[in-house]
DNA sequence: CATGAATGAGCATTCATTCAT
DNA sequence: TATGAATGAATGCTCATTCAT
C-alpha cells in the first residue's frame, strides 16, 4: 500500500492541456475527501480525461499530492516576500507573517489539509523537493526571529528554533482544529490574540507595555 | 477505503489470551510502519494467531487503533490526576502538566504517532469514545487555565480556549518533530523552555518577575 | 511486465480444496491458449472460485506455471525410474527412455508446451526448484550415456554432454512440431526411427570405422 | 493480449530515416530483454523518435519482430546459396550448412533468440511471410537430404523429413542452451562433433548393417 | 477459544495504438 | 516525415472481512 518511492518527485512533462484538468479535479476532490479515499478513476472522471493520461503527467498517485502542494507553495512564496517588504521590526514582521499564514490557511483548506494531514508521516515526503519549499519557508521565520534577537526585540534566553516551533505550531494547531471541524476563522482576530499571547505570554504581569 | 462507521467503538469481548497477542503485535508493527501499511495478515502472523481471531476482539481494523489508543489513554489518566495533587497555583500545575505530557510522548512514540498522525482527520474518530478521553484530558487543561484566570495568575484578555490551544499545540508540534525524525528529547529542558516562553512571551521586556 | 521474482517458488500452503480446482482450471485453459493470454479472472471463473483465492495458493500468476510444471515432473519421475528397471544395456535404456519421453509428450500436450514454449527464456525459471527437476531428469540421460561409453556400447570420441543434447534436442524438436501443429504422433514409430537414426547415423553404408 | 492478426505482415512503407533508428533501437533492446518486456515507449525513447512514428513503419508491435527477423533472414539467404556452391556431395553440403548455421547463431544472438523463443508458438507467425523464409530455408536442407538419398550417401530407410528434423533440432538445441546461458561456442568444434555424431550415430562399432 | 477456507470489491498502473496537426 | 496529446481496455494483485466448523 505505502510503497517507498525514489527521491525524484515530478515528471519532466509539466505542461499540457490535460494536466490542468487533472490537477483541478484532484484539488476539488480533496476538498471533500481524504487522499486515500480518492481513486484515480474518479479523478479522471471529474477531469474529463482518461485514467491513463494521469500517468503521462504524474509518476504515481501520490505524485499528484506533491505536485499540487508544490504549486500551492510556489504560488505562496513570492507573495510572502512581498508582504514583508516595508515592515520594520521583527515583531511586526512576525505579526504580518501570522496574518498571511492564517489567511492562507483560511482561504485554502485543501492546501492546509495536505500539509497537516496527508503528507506528514510519509518518509518520502521529507526527501522531496516539495518539502524543501516548506523548509525554505520555515527558514524565513527563523531569520526574522534571529533578527529580533539581535535587535533586542526578542528574548535571547530561549533557543530561536524552539521559538519558531512554538510560533508555527500554534498557528497550525489553531487552524487545524478549525479546518477539521469546518469552522470559519477570522485571520484578524486570531492574529491579534495569538500575537498578544505569544509576544507577552500568558502570565498576567504588572509592568508590560 | 475510508468507510464511515457507526459510533460504537469497541467490542464487549475485551479480554482473552489471543487479544493481548494481537494488540502487542499491532503495537510493535506501529513502531516501524504506518497504520495503513500494516495488514491484518501481518498482524495475525506476528501475533501467531489466525486473521479471523482479530475479528473476535475487534470490530474492524481501525478498531485496533482506537482500542490501543484507549489503553494508552486510560493508563495515563490516573497518573495525571495523581500528578497534579499537592501542586498549588495554575502556572505550577501547567508546568507539571507540560512535563508529564512531554515525558509521555518521549517514552511512547507509538502512542504519539497514533495521536498525531493516524487518527486525526478521520471523522469517526471524533465520534469515538476514545476521543472523549482526549477531550476529558483537554478539559483538565482548560480548568486549570480558568483557575489561573480567576486567581489572577493568568491573563484574562485572551480567550482561555485559545490559550489552551496554543499550549497544547506547542507541545504537540515540538514533540511531533522529534518523533517524526526519531530524535531524542529531554522533558526537563523542553518543559523549562516552553514554560518560560509561553508564560512570559517572546518579547524581551524590562520588568517581568 | 516481466518482473524479476525472488528465488522462492511455491507457497507453503500447498493443499486445500480450492487449490485443485484452480490448477485444474489453469491446466485446461493452457490446452487452448498461451500463458500470457490467460487471465487470472478467467482461471477463477473456470475454477469456480474467487480470484483472490488464487493468491492464497500461488505467489503470483507465473507461480501457477511453475507449480503445475512441477506436478507434472514429479508425477513423471517415479514412473521413469520404474521404466528403466530390468532393462539391460545403455542403448536399450535409451530406446526405452525415448519411448516414454515421446509417449509423455504425446499424451500431455500442456506439459510439453509449458516446457518448450512458456518457461524457457525466463531467467527466474532457471533459478527455480522446478528447473532442478528438469536437470535431475537430464542427469539420468547423461548417466546412461556414460554407462554406455564405459561398456563400449557408445562411442567415446564425442563429448557425452553433446550426445545428450542431440538426443534430447531431437526428441523435443520432433515433438514440438507436432504439438504446435496439433498433429498426432506415434511413439512407437517415432522411437523406432529416431533410435535407428541416432544410433547408426544418417550415413548409408555397412563398413564404417 | 495475444491478438490474432490478419495475414498481412509488413507495411509497404519500408524505408525512411526514422525506420532505421527504430529497428536499431528495437534490436538493441532485444539483446537484453524479452520481446514482451520491451515497450513501445522504450523503443521510441531509445530511437529518439515519437511513439507514433513506430506505427508509420510497423503495423503493430509484433510487426517489429517479424520485420527484424525478416531482415536477418534475407541477409542470410544469399550468403547461404553462395556457401553451398562448389561443394560436392550431400554430406559435405550438410557439414557446410551446419557450420554456417551455427556460425550465424553464434554471431547473432538476437536473431537466434527471436527464432527460438519469441516467434514460436504464435499462430500468426506461421501464417507470416517471414515464416515462408524459414520454410524455404528448411526446404534447402530437405533437398540436400533427398540428393544424398538418391546418390546413396544417405540412408533411405528413414523418412527424410525426420532426418531433417533431427539435424535442425540438434543444431537449435545445442545453440539455444548456449544462447540462454550466454556462453560462447565454437562453430568449428561443434560442427565437427555434430556431424561425426549425426552422420555415423552414437553406436561404437565397425560392422553395422 | 480459535481457525481454515474463501471472497467481494476495489484499484493503481501499463501499454499498444490512434489521430489531428 | 513526424509528433504531442490522448485513450480504451485490460489485468494482476491486495486486503479487510466472514463464517462454518
CB contact, 8 Å: B147 with chain A?
Answer: no
Residues 133-192 of C, Cβ under 7 A from nucleic strand F: none
Interface membership of A174 toward B (CB under 8 Å): yes
Question: Closest nucleotide to A58's CA, by C1' atom?
Answer: E13
Residue C13 has pLDDT above 70, yes or no: no
- Do A50 and A76 belong to one domain? no
pLDDT tens string B109-157: 888 888 888 888 777 788 888 888 888 888 999 999 999 999 999 999 9
pLDDT at residue B205, as a whole number: 67
Question: Which nt sits closest to D44, CA to C1'?
Answer: F3
Chain D CB contacts of C117 under 8 Å are 120-121
Q: What is the pLDDT of residues D13-54, one digit of tens each?
A: 567 888 999 999 999 999 888 898 899 999 999 999 999 999
Q: How far is D178 from chain C (nearest CA, A)?
A: 11
8 Å CB contact between A166 and B173: yes
pLDDT at C126 over 50: yes
C204 to D152: CB separation less than 8 angstroms, yes or no: yes
* B202 neighbors A158 (Cβ within 8 angstroms): yes
pLDDT of residue A118: 83
Distance spanning both ends of chain C, measured CA to CA: 54
Chains B and A touch (3+ CB pairs under 8 A): yes
Backbone angle region of B10, left / alpha / beta, with phi > 0 → left and psi within -120 to 50 → alpha: beta
Instruction: Give residue B14's pLDDT.
Output: 67
Among B58, B77, B92, the domain boundary falls at B58
A77 or B6, which is more confident?
A77
Cβ of residue D115 closer than 8 Å to a chain C Cβ: no
pLDDT score for A105: 87
Give the CATH number for residue D157: 1.10.357.10
pLDDT given at position A182 = 81
- Which helix (H) or strand (E) covers residue B150, if one does? helix B129-151
| Mean confidence (pLDDT) of chain B | 86
Domain match, B111 and B182 both: yes
Task: Provide the sign of the torsion angle of the four alpha carbons A32, A34, A35, A38, taken in this order.
Answer: negative
Q: Is position A205 within any domain?
A: no
Indicate if B22 and B95 belong to the same structural domain. Answer: no
Q: pLDDT tier at D209 (50, 70, 90 boundaries)?
A: very low
Decide if D120 is inside a domain: yes
CA-derived radius of gyration, chain A = 19
Q: Cβ contacts of residue B79 below 8 Å, gap of 6+? A: B100
Q: Measured in angstroms, what separates residue C116's CA from nucleotide E17's C1'?
A: 31
C-beta atoms of B162 and A2 within 8 A: no
Whether there are 3 or more C-beta pairs closer than 8 Å between C and A is no
**How many structural domains does chain B have?**
2
The pLDDT score that the predictor gives to residue B201 is 85
Q: Would the pLDDT of D82 be above 80?
A: yes
Q: Which of residues 55-114 of D touch strand F (CB under 7 A)?
A: 56
pLDDT in tens, D111-153: 888 888 888 777 778 888 888 888 888 899 999 999 999 999 9
The reply to whether C140 and C178 lie within a common domain is yes
Say yes or no to pLDDT of A184 above 80: yes
* Domain assignment present for B161: yes
- Is A208 among the domain residues? no
Query: What pLDDT is stored for residue C205 in this prediction?
Result: 66
pLDDT at B1: 41
Q: Could you tell me the CATH number of the domain that includes residue B40?
A: 1.10.10.60
Q: What is the mean pLDDT of residues A111-137?
A: 83
| Residues C77 and C176 occupy one common structural domain | yes
Among all residues of chain B, which has the CA nearest to that of A94?
A: B202
State whether residue B157 sits within 8 Å of chain A by CB: yes
D117 CB within 8 Å of a chain C CB: yes
A48 and A80 assigned to the same domain: no
Identify the weakest region by mean pLDDT among C44-48, C63-67, D4-8.
D4-8
Neighbours of chain C (3+ CB pairs under 8 A): D
- Encode pLDDT of D148-185 as tens digits: 999 999 999 999 999 999 999 999 888 988 888 888 88
Answer whether residue B209 is part of any domain. no
Boundaries of domain holding B103:
62-200
Gap from A13 CA to chain B (nearest CA, Å): 30
Residues of C in contact with D121 (CB under 8 A): 34, 113, 116-117, 180
Q: Verify whether the Cβ–Cβ distance C169 to D165 is below 8 Å.
A: no
Distance from CA of C151 to the nearest CA of D (A): 10
Q: Is the pLDDT of residue C2 over 70?
A: no
Helices and strands: H and E segment counts in chain A: 10, 0
Residue A78's pLDDT is 82
Q: B19, exposed or middle or buried, with CB in 10 Å at 0-12, 13-18, 19+?
A: buried
What is residue B82's predicted lDDT score, i.e. its pLDDT?
85
The residue among B41, B202, B205, B208 with the most chain A CBs within 10 A of its CB, best to mutate, is B202
* A4 within a domain of the structure (yes/no): no
Contact D199 C204 (CB under 8 A): no
Cell of C152: 563400449
Share of chain B above pLDDT 90, in %: 47
Instruction: Indicate the residue among D58, D79, D94 that finishes a domain.
Output: D58
Of B1, B202, B209, the CB nearest to A198: B202
Chain D contact for C3 (CB, 8 A cutoff): no
Instruction: Specify whether the CB–CB gap between D169 and C172 falls below 8 A.
Output: yes
What is the reported pLDDT for D5?
A: 45
Q: Which residue is nearest to nucleotide F7 (CA to C1')?
A: A50
Per-residue model confidence as pLDDT tens digits over C178-197 = 888 888 889 999 999 999 99
**Do C80 and C167 have their domain in common?**
yes
For residues A124 and A5, the answer to whether their CB atoms sit within 8 Å is yes
Tell me which protein residue sits closest to nucleotide E6, measuring alpha carbon to C1': C53
D100 to chain C, minimum CA–CA distance in Å? 18
- Is the whole model's pTM more than 0.85, yes or no? no
Whether residue B2 lies inside any domain: the answer is: no
DSSP string, C143-190: HHHHHHHHHTSB-SSS-HHHHHHHHHHHHHHHHHHHHHTT----HHHH
Do both A86 and A183 map to the same domain? yes
Q: Does C173 touch chain D (CB under 8 A)?
A: yes
A41 and A74 in a single domain? The answer is: no
Examine the pLDDT at B23 and tell me if it is beyond 70: yes
Range with lowest mean pLDDT among A167-176, B62-71, B184-193, C78-87: C78-87
**Pair (A93, A195) in one structural domain:** yes
pLDDT tier at B176, thresholds 50, 70, 90: confident
Find the DSSP H helices in chain D: 17-32, 40-47, 51-57, 61-84, 90-107, 109-113, 129-151, 160-180, 187-200
A25 touches strand E (CB under 7 A): no
- The CB-side HSE value for C32 (13 A sphere, CA atoms) comes to 6
Grid look-up 527464456 returns C121
Residue of chain A whose Cα is closest to the Cα of B35: A2
* A158 and A107 both lie in a single domain: yes
Residues 69-88 of B with CB under 7 A from strand E: none
- Supply the pLDDT for residue B207: 45
Reply yes or no on whether the pLDDT at C69 is more than 60. Answer: yes
Each residue's pLDDT tens digit, B157-173: 999 999 999 999 899 88
Do both D148 and D54 map to the same domain? no
Q: Reduce the secondary structure of D21-57 to three states and give it as a string.
A: HHHHHHHHHHHHCCHHHCCHHHHHHHHCCCHHHHHHH
Confidence band of B43 (pLDDT split at 50, 70, 90): very high
pLDDT tens track for B49-102: 999 999 999 999 999 999 998 898 888 878 877 888 889 999 999 999 999 989
Closest residue in B to A196 (Cα–Cα): B158
Strand E: which bases are under 7 Å from protein Cβ? 1-20
Which of the two residues, C153 and A79, has the higher pLDDT score?
A: C153
Q: What is the pLDDT of residue D13?
A: 59
Nearest C-alpha in B relative to A167: B170
Q: What is the mean pLDDT of the segment spanning A166-177?
A: 89
Residue D115 lies inside a defined structural domain of this protein: yes
Measured between CB atoms, does C168 come within 8 Å of chain D?
yes
pLDDT score recorded for residue A132: 86
Amino acid at each position: 500500500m505505502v510503497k517507498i518511492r525514489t527521491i525524484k518527485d515530478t515528471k519532466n512533462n509539466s505542461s499540457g492541456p490535460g494536466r490542468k484538468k487533472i490537477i483541478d479535479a484532484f484539488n476539488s476532490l480533496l476538498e471533500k475527501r481524504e487522499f486515500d479515499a480518492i481513486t484515480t478513476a474518479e479523478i479522471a472522471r471529474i477531469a474529463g480525461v482518461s485514467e491513463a493520461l494521469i500517468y503521462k503527467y504524474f509518476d504515481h498517485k501520490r505524485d499528484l499530492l506533491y505536485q499540487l502542494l508544490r504549486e500551492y507553495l510556489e504560488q505562496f512564496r513570492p507573495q510572502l516576500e512581498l508582504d514583508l517588504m516595508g515592515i520594520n521590526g521583527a515583531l511586526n514582521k512576525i505579526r504580518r507573517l501570522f496574518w498571511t499564514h492564517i489567511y492562507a490557511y483560511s482561504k485554502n483548506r485543501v492546501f492546509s489539509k495536505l500539509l497537516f494531514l496527508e503528507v506528514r508521516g510519509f518518509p518520502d515526503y521529507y526527501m522531496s523537493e516539495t518539502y524543501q519549499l516548506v523548509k525554505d519557508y520555515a527558514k524565513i521565520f527563523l531569520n526574522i526571529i534571529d533578527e529580533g534577537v539581535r535587535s533586542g526585540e526578542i528574548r535571547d534566553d530561549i533557543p530561536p528554533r524552539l521559538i519558531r516551533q512554538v510560533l508555527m505550531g500554534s498557528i497550525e494547531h489553531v487552524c487545524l482544529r478549525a479546518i477539521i471541524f469546518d469552522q470559519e476563522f477570522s485571520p484578524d482576530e486570531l492574529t491579534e490574540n495569538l500575537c498578544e499571547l505569544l509576544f507577552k505570554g500568558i502570565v498576567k504581569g504588572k509592568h508590560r507595555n
